[in-house]
């Protein structure tokens, strides 16, 4: 390859890891780019200055770093929590929510640097490349995305280490994790290595945020979480900003062995993959938020919102954050949260998180209606008329069509002999066959 891009600037989404550090040098040496790196801390980057130094040491002409944790929580995590977005009913989408924000930072940096090119270090097999490419395409369709790990760079890990040494890139002496890990405030995503056999239980070293439930404290711990319009506001009575609340809940729940997910999921690129997640705060908050919703939302909204949640999770997973479809669903979700204010009590006990209480000033739960004790205000007599009308279609159909009993071909029909087996109570005469028609 000739130095096709000499004089051009390329802004690279930079994590500070080996892959993207090698990519800095490679983009410069092989393609001729001037490289600017862009790093957003979503809660797991650690020392931003060290990242900056490493980018420069790797050959970047400039290294942009920023703390994006608050923006991440406010504009990505909370809306997804309000939506109830869990991919394939389980994955709280930590990685998937982080990517569009990193892409947005990348586009902003490209604009500031007058660059026509952006790059990322994703491989050609995962979801993350899709999320970066689609987000950049939606925000800045004029930019060209370069993905060296998807083609061009083609280095094994050993070759990367070698390349790094030759280019003066600091290579950490610490042993590389045997897994591929992505981490932010909302969760830790772990894949590859021995996890690739879905029959094998994950080894201990997979988990960093949660203890084995067997080793969790014997004494359960309870927390109270207050929500204001679907957004977590206090933890055990202390008003915390989103970043602090999530961090603290990650720690408390993780200590009690809460937050592990082991699943086989369907990637957008068509493959099934075995994924381990640690997401203590995310799991607890999703559970608590739904518990509060069960008090304040109507039956219809709960039912319909669950469908929206699935659609929402799907679009986030598939990298369509910056789409009109998302804006429309988000508008619905936000509207549903008007009355989702109140408190939830959650108990952690050796790996289990259980909602044990909930209350809200907007609660639709009325003791006078629900009680079987004194003060019952429910009109029992009125049920008769209600059931007569509700059951009208059933009775009408039963008078004209054979649905149940002899003569019916229905799939659920109980065979006669199943009921007259020895020892079983004798069924009474079958009225359906005797009835005059
Ligand atoms: N499977 C998850 C997702 O698609 C996690 C991906 C983790 N990414 C990584 N580079 N390790 O969101």
Dihedrals phi, psi of 232, to nearest 5 degrees = -60, 130
Q: Name which of 59-68, 300-309, 314-323, 367-376 the model is least confident about.
A: 367-376
* pLDDT value of residue 209: 98
Which residue in the list 28, 69, 99, 150 is annotated as catalytic?
99
CA distance 100 to 68: 12
* pLDDT value of residue 437: 40
* pLDDT value of residue 84: 98
Surface-to-core class of residue 380, CB atoms within 10 Å of its CB (0-12 exposed, 13-18 middle, 19+ buried): exposed
* pLDDT value of residue 279: 98
In a domain, 109, yes or no: yes
Q: 421 pLDDT band (50/70/90 cuts)?
A: low
Q: Cβ(127) to ligand 1 under 6 A? A: yes
CA distance 165 to 148: 19
Q: What is the mean pLDDT of residues 220-228?
A: 98
Are residues 259 and 405 part of one domain? no
In a domain, 332, yes or no: no
pLDDT of 1 > 60? The answer is no
Are residues 225 and 157 part of one domain? no
Are residues 261 and 218 part of one domain? yes
pLDDT of 194 > 50? The answer is yes
Using the mean position of ligand 1's atoms as its centre, give its distance from the Cα of residue 52 in Å. 24
Q: Does 360 participate in catalysis according to the annotation?
A: no
pLDDT of 428 > 80? The answer is no
In angstroms, the first-to-last Cα distance of the chain is 86
Are residues 255 and 196 part of one domain? yes
CA distance 14 to 28: 14
Are residues 154 and 59 part of one domain? yes
* pLDDT value of residue 413: 86
CA distance 216 to 350: 5
Q: Cβ(41) to ligand 1 under 6 A? A: no
Q: 410 pLDDT band (50/70/90 cuts)?
A: confident
Give the strands of the sheet with 144-146, arranged side by side: 62-67, 34-41, 9-13, 117-119, 144-146
Closest Cα to atom 4 of ligand 1 = 127
Q: Cβ(183) to ligand 1 under 6 A? A: no
Are residues 257 and 122 part of one domain? no
Q: Name which of 107-116, 153-162, 264-273 the model is least confident about.
A: 153-162
In a domain, 202, yes or no: yes
* pLDDT value of residue 415: 81
Q: Cβ(180) to ligand 1 under 6 A? A: yes
Mean pLDDT is highest, among 149-158, 230-239, 399-408, 427-436, for 230-239
* pLDDT value of residue 151: 86
Q: What is the mean pLDDT of residues 408-430?
A: 72
CATH number for the domain spanning 202: value is: 3.90.1260.10
CA distance 21 to 58: 6
In a domain, 123, yes or no: yes
Closest Cα to atom 10 of ligand 1 = 182
Q: Cβ distance 224 to 343 under 8 Å?
A: yes
Closest Cα to atom 8 of ligand 1 = 182
Q: Cβ distance 356 to 345 under 8 Å?
A: yes
Which of 318, 353, 369 is the last residue before a domain boundary? Answer: 369
Q: What percentage of the chain reaches a pLDDT higher than 90?
A: 87
CATH number for the domain spanning 43: value is: 3.40.50.620
Higher-confidence residue of 404 and 347: namely 347
pLDDT of 436 > 60? The answer is no
Q: Cβ distance 247 to 203 under 8 Å?
A: no
Q: What percentage of the chain reaches a pLDDT higher than 70?
A: 95
Q: 429 pLDDT band (50/70/90 cuts)?
A: low
Using the mean position of ligand 1's atoms as its centre, give its distance from the Cα of residue 123 in Å. 11
Q: Does 180 participate in catalysis according to the annotation?
A: yes
Using the mean position of ligand 1's atoms as its centre, give its distance from the Cα of residue 145 in Å. 20
Q: What is the mean pLDDT of residues 11-39?
A: 96
Are residues 237 and 288 part of one domain? yes
Q: 403: domain range?
A: 394-434
Q: 411 pLDDT band (50/70/90 cuts)?
A: confident
Type and span of the H or E element at 40: strand 34-41
Q: Cβ(189) to ligand 1 under 6 A? A: yes
Q: What is the mean pLDDT of residues 227-253?
A: 98
Helices (H), 46-175: 48-57, 69-72, 78-83, 94-112, 128-139, 157-166
CA distance 221 to 253: 9
Residues 271-296: tens digit of each pLDDT: 999 999 999 999 999 999 999 999 99
Taking the CA atoms of residue 176, residue 177, residue 183 and residue 188 in that order, the dihedral angle to the nearest 10 degrees is: 180
Q: Cβ distance 221 to 354 under 8 Å?
A: no
Residues 49-66: tens digit of each pLDDT: 999 999 999 999 999 999
In a domain, 278, yes or no: yes
Which residue in the list 41, 128, 133, 182 is annotated as catalytic?
128
Q: Cβ distance 96 to 85 under 8 Å?
A: no
* pLDDT value of residue 423: 64
Q: 323 pLDDT band (50/70/90 cuts)?
A: very high
Q: What is the mean pLDDT of residues 288-305?
A: 98
* pLDDT value of residue 52: 96
Are residues 215 and 155 part of one domain? no
Give the number of domains in the chain: 3
* pLDDT value of residue 434: 46
In a domain, 121, yes or no: yes
In a domain, 230, yes or no: yes
* pLDDT value of residue 4: 86
* pLDDT value of residue 305: 98
Closest Cα to atom 9 of ligand 1 = 182
* pLDDT value of residue 172: 78
* pLDDT value of residue 424: 55
Q: Cβ distance 21 to 54 under 8 Å?
A: yes
Testing ligand 1's pocket by substitution, the residue of 17, 42, 126 carrying the most ligand atoms inside 8 A of its CB is 126
Q: Does 294 participate in catalysis according to the annotation?
A: no
pTM of the model: 0.93
Q: Cβ(191) to ligand 1 under 6 A? A: yes
Are residues 113 and 44 part of one domain? yes
In a domain, 322, yes or no: no
Are residues 143 and 285 part of one domain? no
pLDDT of 377 > 60? The answer is yes
Are residues 57 and 29 part of one domain? yes
Are residues 360 and 239 part of one domain? yes
* pLDDT value of residue 286: 98
């Amino acid at each position: 390859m000739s130095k096709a891009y000499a004089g051009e600037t390329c802004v690279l989404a930079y994590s500070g890891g080996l892959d993207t550090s090698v990519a800095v040098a490679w983009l410069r040496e092989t393609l001729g780019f001037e490289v600017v790196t862009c790093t957003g801390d979503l809660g797991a980057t650690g020392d931003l200055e060290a990242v900056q130094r490493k980018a420069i040491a790797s050959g970047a002409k400039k290294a942009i770093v920023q703390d994006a944790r608050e923006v991440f929580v406010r504009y990505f995590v909370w809306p997804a929590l309000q939506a109830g977005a869990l991919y394939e009913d389980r994955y709280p989408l930590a990685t998937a929510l982080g990517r569009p924000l990193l892409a947005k930072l990348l586009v902003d940096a490209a604009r500031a640097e007058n660059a026509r090119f952006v790059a990322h270090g994703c491989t050609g097999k995962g979801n993350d490349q899709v999320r970066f490419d689609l987000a950049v395409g939606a925000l800045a369709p004029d930019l060209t995305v370069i993905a060296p790990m998807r083609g061009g760079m083609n280095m094994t890990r050993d070759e990367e280490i070698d390349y790094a040494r030759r280019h003066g890139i600091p290579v950490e002496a610490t042993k590389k994790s045997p897994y591929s890990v992505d981490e932010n405030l909302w969760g830790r995503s772990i894949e590859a290595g021995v996890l690739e056999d879905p029959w094998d239980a994950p080894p201990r070293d997979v988990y960093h945020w949660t203890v084995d439930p067997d080793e969790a404290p014997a004494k359960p711990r309870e927390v109270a979480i207050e929500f204001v319009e679907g957004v977590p506001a206090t933890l055990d009575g202390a008003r915390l900003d989103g970043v602090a609340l999530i961090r603290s809940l990650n720690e408390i729940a993780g200590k009690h062995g809460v937050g592990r997910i082991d699943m086989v999921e369907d990637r957008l690129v068509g493959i099934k993959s075995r994924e381990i997640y640690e997401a203590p705060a995310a799991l607890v908050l999703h559970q608590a938020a739904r518990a509060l919703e069960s008090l304040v939302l109507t039956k219809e909204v709960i039912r319909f919102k669950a469908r929206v949640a699935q659609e929402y999770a799907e679009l986030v997973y598939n990298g369509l954050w910056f789409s009109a479809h998302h804006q429309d669903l988000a508008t619905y979700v936000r509207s549903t949260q008007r009355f989702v204010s109140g408190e939830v009590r959650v108990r952690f006990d050796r790996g289990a998180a259980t909602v044990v209480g909930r209350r809200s000033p907007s609660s639709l739960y009325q003791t006078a209606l629900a009680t079987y004790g004194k003060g019952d205000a429910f009109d029992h007599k009125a049920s008769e008329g209600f059931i007569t009308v509700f059951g009208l279609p059933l009775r009408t159909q039963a008078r004209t069509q054979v649905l149940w009993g002899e003569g019916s071909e229905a799939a659920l029909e109980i065979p006669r002999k199943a009921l007259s087996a020895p020892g079983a109570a004798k069924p009474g005469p079958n009225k359906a066959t005797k009835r005059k028609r």
